[in-house]
Amino acid sequence: MKEPGEPLSILIVRDKKQNYFAYRNVCPHLQHAIYSRPAECLSIGDLVFACRWHQAKFNAQSGFCTGGPCEGAQLRSFPTAVVDGKICVSGIELANRRMAQPE
């Protein structure tokens, strides 16, 4: 479970039509990070990726688990947009902005 003030890890996935989707980088099964390094997040076809720990399979467009130990669960999602070629995620506070604010 994330503690207050602890940075939130976000997983961004892309489908073949170049649509981007952002999810909290925590598998609902055992609360482990789905992704730490590129080789650890498994792409299984066009719209499915898997958790590196127990291969729970998630739909890239919805975040729903379609197979594995947490089937039927859903990842927490965040709205995304591409602005000037950069992927923007809304609904989260950036850690560096939080630290940069004067007390």
Distance of CA 28 to CAs 25, 32, 58, 84, Å? 10, 8, 11, 33
Tokens of 59: 């739909």
On whether the CB atoms of residues 21 and 34 are closer than 8 A, the answer is: no
**Residues 64-101 pLDDT 10s:** 999 999 999 999 999 999 999 898 898 877 655 444 44
**Residues 9-66 pLDDT 10s:** 888 888 888 889 999 999 999 888 887 766 555 666 668 888 888 889 999 899 999 9
End-to-end CA distance of the chain: 27
Amino acid present at 43:
S
Convert 31-40 to b/e letters by CB count within 10 Å (16 or more is b): eebbbeeeee
Least Cα distance to 35 among 55, 56, 13, 51 occurs for 51
The domain over range 10-100 is classified in CATH as 3.40.50.970 = no
On whether the CB atoms of residues 61 and 19 are closer than 8 A, the answer is: yes
pLDDT score, position 90? 86
Predicted TM-score (pTM) of the model is 0.76
Strand partners, 86: 83
